Chain A
Amino acid sequence: MIVLITSILAITLRAGTSLVYATIGEIYTERSGILNLGLEGMMLMGAVTSFATVYYTGSLALAVLAAMFVGMILSSIHAFLSITMRANQVVSGLSITLFGTGFASFLGQRLGPAENGKYLIGLIGEKFTPIAIPGLSGVPLIGAFFNQDLLTYITYLIIPIAWFYMYKTKNGLNLRAVGDNPQTADAMGIDVLKTRYLYTILGGMLVALGGAHLSLAYAPGWTENITGGRGWIVIALVIFSMWNPSRAIWGALLFGGINAVQFRLQASGTDIPASFLNMLPYLATIIALVVMTWIEKYNKKIGAPGALATSYMRGEK
């Protein structure tokens, strides 16, 4: 039994990694007051470019950098539209998703080698493999945490750092003020537009890195719709986390855990239809979202950034 739970936990962490990156990225973006609904598109683009890079160069480091570069480009477009042009952030974000989804699919059919009909689908490349930490990986339960790939290990660091930066540093304080009350932040001498650009782009890079984890580690290779809607799940997880990076882990574990359990159930040949099991993570997300939103109503202190999805311009009459 312990062995089973340990293995489910290990899969949970693996499944949750891409979500942790994307959730923390989007939390930072939304904390600056910018809603980026382009997540799904950016994750797919991150996944396809990182896999293509690793296929041709064999370098995982280059693949990760390529994904982050694409995330930077796409989120810069969103930042330009919603911060400088003051466009509707929902529309801009959705366009990024529509573009990213289509373009990733297109690249998946064009970037491959000629002998594979230019398709990336079905190819095998380098991947992040689990690195067992000697001594720790053998411990029941806890061992699940120490038999993971490098990108998962990095999330163990990124979560506390992201939390510390947001709540304990000067820059984090300024960031929260910009997203909550840009008028006040501006009057206090904080450069609202610069801050928003910075964290929208940083967030986009993390989101694309989340996508890269899918094609480089979780399900190595490229398949159409490899994200399976994770970009949308993350939007819910951000709310579930109450925009607090330290809670991103719980959302990611919940979704990843249910994913792992349903995976196990399907493998064990249960009578429950597969499509019902596939639905469970999404159902859990909706329920979690409803519960958290309900709790939030009774707690004024934490919640959505006050100026989320609104553009800012210094008050001229």
Chain B
Amino acid sequence: MEEKQPVPILEMKKITKQFPGVLANEDVDLELFKGEVLALLGENGAGKSTLMNILSGLTRPDSGEIILNGKAVDIDSPRDAMHLGIGMVHQNFKLVSTMTVAENVILGLDSENFVLDMKKVGKKINEISDHYRLKVDPDAYIWQMSVGEQQRVEILKLIYRGAEVLILDEPTAVLTPQESNELNEIVKKMTKEGKSAIFITHKMDEVMNFSDWVRVLQKGKLVSVVRTRDTNPKDLANLMVGREVLFRIEKKKCNPGEVRLEVKNVSALNSKGIEALKDVSFSIRAGEILGIAGVAGNGQRELTETITGLHKVLKGHIFVEGEDMTNKAPIDLIKAGVSHIPSDRVAMGIVGDMSVASNLAMKEYRKAPLTQYGLLHPKRIFNLAKGMIELFMISTPSPNTNVKFLSGGNIQKTILAREIGACRGLLIAVYPARGLDVGATESVRKEIIAERDNGKAVLLVSEDLEELISVSDRIAVMSEGTIMGIVDTETADIESLGLMMAGVSLKESGAKGG
């Protein structure tokens, strides 16, 4: 079939952006055609948001150019982007919650009169919302609205400002399926009228339903450009995760013992009151590593936090070594021998302004020998720390150095040393190798396997399928708060895991159960 070659309304050429320690974008090209929807697909940290922040004026690229309607443009601020007709709906909505819809819509607009005519604004908002079926009350306050309604305000705001190119950053992440469908309708209506849209996402079905083109980013680089109708979810999953040869760590065969952790029909709400865990059940035995695969934000955080006592269980039960620990306080779980390597190591794992030694002692300090007669024993803490620093090869000038001055890898080793040191039955490791270099990653993975061989039960949450396959014994895949299936690592393949991550259940994905 012969296709005429239309001129893109928007082009980004060889965009490169370096953040300290991370090359967020490297020579990325992008083309957007009038009346079409482009999906930007990629894992977390692939550089999608950075690229779009550059387009919307929030971030300056180090090099590269942006061409709009055939002319090179310089986008220095969100204001510039707005004047050029480029508008972005951010993942964290840019709305002032103490203000009304109408006030938010006209915020920062030069074209409004000095003395505001809110009646006129309301009328125009009503016209737009009727036209696109964006149900919104101009006089409602943002804080009274649901997330879905707030998103409609964001879109309405862009249309009111005359945006021709709409950027939507993971727009369905916070929506119910019904709201997602409504959003799809709205976007289709807009593209029919000649507007264009860019969608940031890592959900396969969304790409298939919403977009005309797909661009896949991986570690800051553009790896593929395909027409949506010429591809399928399976291929996209492969492109997104990458086809590198699997790297397996030598490990002994798994020798599971008694059940250490049992999660039974657990449901929980997230901080926004939406159900984040739906009837989740699984168990882990001593000497076994269960990996949890899934795209971030599909309930992993809530799962690990309910097990460690940091998040409320709504329904169901959690048993540690046979004892019901549902909704117990974190200190009770620590006493029960549960260790936790949190996902945000700086915010939850350490106290940056305290010494390495103090951080290492943070789980054991309550008891003898570190505490005697109700007083801390600094010498013993120091010696304990010295031993751990040697054992785990933490590179620090001294045990008394503030832990925040260590590198990410050494901070992670500090947490690992403390948690493994205090672990007596169950180790929960969330993204333990995130942001670490190859060497540090390998040593962290080896430590986790060593713990398994010592008879601990390990729950390993990761977004890295390669890591899960090389480290864990079984893999459970989470999608939208449910376990899509649990497979033996021996029989697992990346394609079917990727499909389950995208919400396809175990049977349909074709993998063998474990």
Interface set of A (CB-CB < 8 Å, partner B)? 168-171, 173-174, 176-177, 180-181, 183-190, 300-303, 306, 314-317
Bound state CA distance, A168 and B115, in angstroms? 6
Q: Indicate if B132 sits at the interface (CB-CB under 8 A).
A: no
Bound state CA distance, A128 and B499, in angstroms? 81
- Is B58 a contact partner of A314 (Cβ separation < 8 A)? yes
Q: Indicate if B59 sits at the interface (CB-CB under 8 A).
A: yes
Q: Indicate if B352 sits at the interface (CB-CB under 8 A).
A: no
18 A-B pairs with C-beta separation under 8 A: A168-B116, A170-B114, A181-B95, A181-B96, A181-B97, A187-B78, A187-B94, A188-B108, A188-B109, A190-B107, A300-B98, A301-B98, A301-B143, A306-B96, A306-B98, A317-B20, A317-B22, A317-B24
Contact of B96 among A171, A177, A300, A302 (CB under 8 A): A177
- Is A189 a contact partner of B96 (Cβ separation < 8 A)? no
Interface string of B4-24 (1 = CB under 8 A from A): 000000000000000110101
Interface set of B (CB-CB < 8 Å, partner A)? 19-20, 22, 24, 56, 58-59, 77-79, 82, 88, 90, 92, 94-99, 103, 106-109, 112-116, 141, 143
Neighbouring B residues of A317 by C-beta, 8 Å: 19-20, 22, 24
Bound state CA distance, A301 and B100, in angstroms? 10
Query: Please, which residue of chain A has its CB at the minimum distance from the CB of B95?
Result: A184
Bound state CA distance, A181 and B82, in angstroms? 19
- Is B107 a contact partner of A184 (Cβ separation < 8 A)? yes
- Is A177 a contact partner of B107 (Cβ separation < 8 A)? yes
Contact of B107 among A168, A173, A183, A315 (CB under 8 A): A173
- Is A184 a contact partner of B82 (Cβ separation < 8 A)? no
- Is B143 a contact partner of A188 (Cβ separation < 8 A)? no
Find the residue from B24, B79, B88 having the highest chain A CB count within 10 A.
Answer: B79
Neighbouring B residues of A188 by C-beta, 8 Å: 78, 82, 94, 107-109
Neighbouring A residues of B113 by C-beta, 8 Å: 170
Neighbouring A residues of B99 by C-beta, 8 Å: 173, 176-177, 180
Neighbouring A residues of B107 by C-beta, 8 Å: 173-174, 177, 184-185, 188, 190
- Is A169 a contact partner of B58 (Cβ separation < 8 A)? no
Bound state CA distance, A306 and B143, in angstroms? 13
Neighbouring B residues of A306 by C-beta, 8 Å: 96-98
Bound state CA distance, A227 and B116, in angstroms? 38
- Is B108 a contact partner of A185 (Cβ separation < 8 A)? yes
Bound state CA distance, A317 and B47, in angstroms? 12
Neighbouring B residues of A170 by C-beta, 8 Å: 106, 109, 112-116
5 residue pairs, one from A and one from B, having the closest CB atoms: A189-B79, A188-B108, A184-B94, A187-B94, A190-B108
- Is A171 a contact partner of B114 (Cβ separation < 8 A)? yes
Neighbouring A residues of B92 by C-beta, 8 Å: 183
Bound state CA distance, A85 and B112, in angstroms? 33
- Is A300 a contact partner of B58 (Cβ separation < 8 A)? no
If A168-B116, A177-B96, A177-B108 are given as contacts, then 5 extra A-B residue pairs at C-beta distance below 8 Å, sorted by A number, are A173-B116, A180-B97, A188-B109, A301-B143, A316-B19
Neighbouring B residues of A186 by C-beta, 8 Å: 78
Prevailing SS type, chain B contact patch: loop
B90 to chain A, nearest CB (A): 7
Neighbouring B residues of A174 by C-beta, 8 Å: 107-108
Find the residue from B78, B98, B112, B115 having the highest chain A CB count within 10 A.
Answer: B98
Known contacts A169-B114, A315-B58; decide if A189 and B77 are in contact (CB<8 Å).
Answer: yes
A33 to chain B, nearest CB (A): 12
Neighbouring B residues of A168 by C-beta, 8 Å: 115-116
Neighbouring B residues of A183 by C-beta, 8 Å: 92, 94
Neighbouring B residues of A177 by C-beta, 8 Å: 96, 99, 107-108
B277 to chain A, nearest CB (A): 29
Neighbouring B residues of A301 by C-beta, 8 Å: 98, 141, 143
B229 to chain A, nearest CB (A): 34
A9 to chain B, nearest CB (A): 33
Find the residue from A174, A186, A315 having the highest chain B CB count within 10 A.
Answer: A186
Query: Please, which residue of chain A has its CB at the minimum distance from the CB of B78?
Result: A187
Bound state CA distance, A189 and B97, in angstroms? 18
Neighbouring B residues of A169 by C-beta, 8 Å: 114-116
Find the residue from A168, A173, A183, A301 having the highest chain B CB count within 10 A.
Answer: A173
Bound state CA distance, A180 and B103, in angstroms? 13
Bound state CA distance, A301 and B139, in angstroms? 13
Neighbouring A residues of B98 by C-beta, 8 Å: 176, 180, 300-303, 306
Bound state CA distance, A173 and B116, in angstroms? 9
Find the residue from A170, A181, A187, A303 having the highest chain B CB count within 10 A.
Answer: A187
B169 to chain A, nearest CB (A): 12
Bound state CA distance, A7 and B19, in angstroms? 68
Known contacts A177-B99, A314-B58; decide if A189 and B108 are in contact (CB<8 Å).
Answer: yes
A296 to chain B, nearest CB (A): 12
Query: Please, which residue of chain B has its CB at the minimum distance from the CB of A314?
Result: B58
Query: Please, which residue of chain A has its CB at the minimum distance from the CB of B111?
Result: A170
Bound state CA distance, A316 and B106, in angstroms? 26
Bound state CA distance, A301 and B107, in angstroms? 18
Bound state CA distance, A186 and B58, in angstroms? 9
Neighbouring A residues of B97 by C-beta, 8 Å: 180-181, 306
B226 to chain A, nearest CB (A): 29
Neighbouring B residues of A187 by C-beta, 8 Å: 56, 58, 78, 88, 90, 94
